[in-house]
Amino acid sequence: MQTRFVVILGSLMSGLGKGIITSSVLKILDMYHYNVMPIKFDGYLNFDCGTMNPYRHGEVFVLDDKGEVDMDFGMYERFLNKNLTSDHSITGGKLFSSIISKERRGDFLGEDVQMIPHMTNSIIGQIKGLAKKENLDVLVIEAGGTVGDIENGYFIKAMRQMAITEKVVFINLTYIPKIDAVGEQKTKPTQLAMRSIMQLGIKPNFLICRTSEPLEEKTISKLAMFSNLAKERIIDDSTYPTIYRVPLHFIDQHFDRLLLGDLDLANAKIDEKMLKRWKGRVAKVVSPAKRVNVAIVGKYTHLHDSYASVREALVHAGAELDTGIDINWVESTDIEKEGARKMLENAGGIIVPGGFGQRGTEGKIMAIQYARENHVPYLGLCLGMQLMTVEFARNVCGLNGANSTEFEKNARYKVIDILPSQVGVKNKGGTMRLGSWKCRITSRNSIAYDAYKSDVVYERHRHRYEFNNRYRKPMQKCGMLISGVTQDNKLVEIIEWKGQFGVATQAHPELKSRFEAPAPLFVSFVMASLAEKRPE
Ligand code: GLN
């Protein structure tokens, strides 16, 4: 089948949830059994997200193939339940570096290289090449940023150019504000935005409207008139208790039928079983039978987007267990000031997620000690595993002064240390232990085996430091279980406490958690947080 394209643009402002819209469109097409994949374009000149600050930009997402990509990729994978590759991420940095190396090679001999047509042709060629390679029925392209930005202008122009020869459906996401004093949904900003899109030669097929409350009839009529669209093409995207409800909300508005019609796929039938399964999970998120309180002890907790995958993995595990998760975001520096008990008293379970840099690490260690001493279920993710090692070394094995050399270069006991292969690394981009790694579970009598029910597991990594093998024996002697190692046994991957729920992994299992396939360690952790009995 000839590949069709859906291009999703945003107008007015960022932060409206274009990633959720793209993911919902992907899921809807998946429910019709089309082979569908996304492409995300980001206009920044970074080659990838590897060197970006999660505090400014949100979490850096990691793919199996080591790609360090925008957090929207997490959203796509969570909805679609497919593994994506770095080819699906196009950035300004990648485009410019490739066009300049082509020019140096002499690909454009005699020509002056221009945005149009050289850059636009190169973008279209890349997109069509991927569609062909993966034999896609539909490719959904999310153009990052908003229409009018200097960074994405040439990309949007390329999409317009692509529509001359290919079947392309355009969707514009906009925002409809409601001014308190007037109590009216205002359409003027969207009217102006539509004008600027149409000036680019693009007439959107749909206008998706982000609003806090459902679109009013009057608003719809006005938007339809000013956008040259039939009223049913103005789609409501008002706030719902869970993002996983969005595809269903679109289907309720018959968006799926109209979209398929525009793609010349009007005869397609939805897989009712898939739809029912999705609805069932959404219902469990919206009205769960049980609730549990989980504390996430981190450093960027006031920017929850820097832990988006951890938050979503908890939602997925909760949906599996019919449990609502109340997340308590705890700043680790507050624990240093206030003490662990005060900050963590209500926690049914405690997570220390990934992180970099020394600030706040002692507070995280205090949280882990509190969990161990009070039998509160603990899940450590990457840095959370390294600090579980430090805590155990100091407080159980009596290795006073144990630390990671990331935080204390000359620590007395370097229980977490940099790999020899990392010592000389100067370039910061793409040089950590990245991507999917095979892990061997060493004991069937372990939390890890109970969770994964497999002797071999694959998880994604992003870190430079590792468990120092010199301390394997001493730590095991004090009662730590090393329950996962790399295939060659050279690196420790999973550690556990014995006799209580405490497990931590050098990997980031949250990156592979999907709405319909939750990460096993998170499911076990939530189950333990519901059940664990504390000593009196
Ligand atoms: N800072 C640690 C390292 O580089 C942990 C990284 C992480 O948690 N992703 O090894």
Q: In the chain, pLDDT over 70 holds for what percent of residues?
A: 99
CA distance 443 to 466: 21
Quote the ligand 1 centre to 455 CA distance (angstroms): 25
Give the residue from 455, 452, 467 showing the smallest Cα distance to 506: 467
DSSP letter at 533 equals P
Summarised one tens digit per residue, pLDDT across range 7-33 is 999 988 888 899 999 999 999 999 999
DSSP letter at 517 equals B
pLDDT of residue 318: 97
- Please tell me which residue in 312, 496, 510, 516 is annotated as part of the active site: 510
CA angle 446, 447, 448 (to 5 degrees): 90
| Whether residue 461 lies in the annotated active site | no
CA distance 381 to 386: 8
| Pairing assessment for the beta strands 36-42 and 89-91 based on DSSP bridges | parallel
Are the CB atoms for 312 and 78 separated by under 8 Å? yes
Summarised one tens digit per residue, pLDDT across range 382-433 is 999 999 999 999 999 999 999 999 999 999 999 999 987 777 777 777 778 8
Q: What b-and-e string marks burial along 53-85, b requiring 16 or more CB atoms within 10 Å of the CB?
A: ebeebbbbbbbbebbbbbbbbbbbbbbbeeebb
Q: What is the mean pLDDT of the chain?
A: 94
Of ligand 1's listed atoms, the one at least distance from the Cα of 466 is 10
What is the Cα 197 distance to its own chain's centre? 29
Query: Tokens in use for 383?
Result: 């840095």
Residue 359 predicted with pLDDT over 70: yes
Name all domains of the chain by residue range, CATH numbers in brackets: 4-281 (3.40.50.300), 288-531 (3.40.50.880)
| Whether residue 510 lies in the annotated active site | yes
Averaged over 276-293, what is the pLDDT? 97
Residue 534 predicted with pLDDT over 70: no
Helices (H), 108-208: 120-133, 153-165, 188-199
CA distance 69 to 407: 26
Of ligand 1's listed atoms, the one at least distance from the Cα of 462 is 9
Summarised one tens digit per residue, pLDDT across range 238-282 is 988 899 999 999 999 999 999 999 999 999 999 999 999 999 999
Q: Using H for helix, E for strand and C for coil, what is the string for 341-385? A: HHHHCCCCEEEECCCCCCCCHHHHHHHHHHHHHCCCCEEEECHHH
CA distance 141 to 9: 9
Quote the ligand 1 centre to 428 CA distance (angstroms): 13
Is it true that the peptide bond before 117 is cis, omega within 30 degrees of 0?
Answer: yes
- Please tell me which residue in 382, 391, 493, 516 is annotated as part of the active site: 382
Averaged over 487-515, what is the pLDDT? 97
Quote the ligand 1 centre to 439 CA distance (angstroms): 18
CA distances (Å), 530 to each of 294, 327, 534, in order?
10, 14, 11
CA distances (Å), 206 to each of 233, 244, 245, 521, in order?
5, 21, 19, 40
pLDDT of residue 56: 74
Are the CB atoms for 83 and 63 separated by under 8 Å? yes
Of ligand 1's listed atoms, the one at least distance from the Cα of 406 is 1
CA distance 146 to 138: 23
Q: To test ligand 1's pocket by mutation, which of 61, 364, 462, 508 has the most ligand atoms within 8 angstroms of CB?
A: 462
Quote the ligand 1 centre to 462 CA distance (angstroms): 7
Instruction: Determine which residue's CA is closest to atom 1 belonging to ligand 1.
Output: 356
Are the CB atoms for 378 and 372 separated by under 8 Å? yes
Residue 535 predicted with pLDDT over 70: no
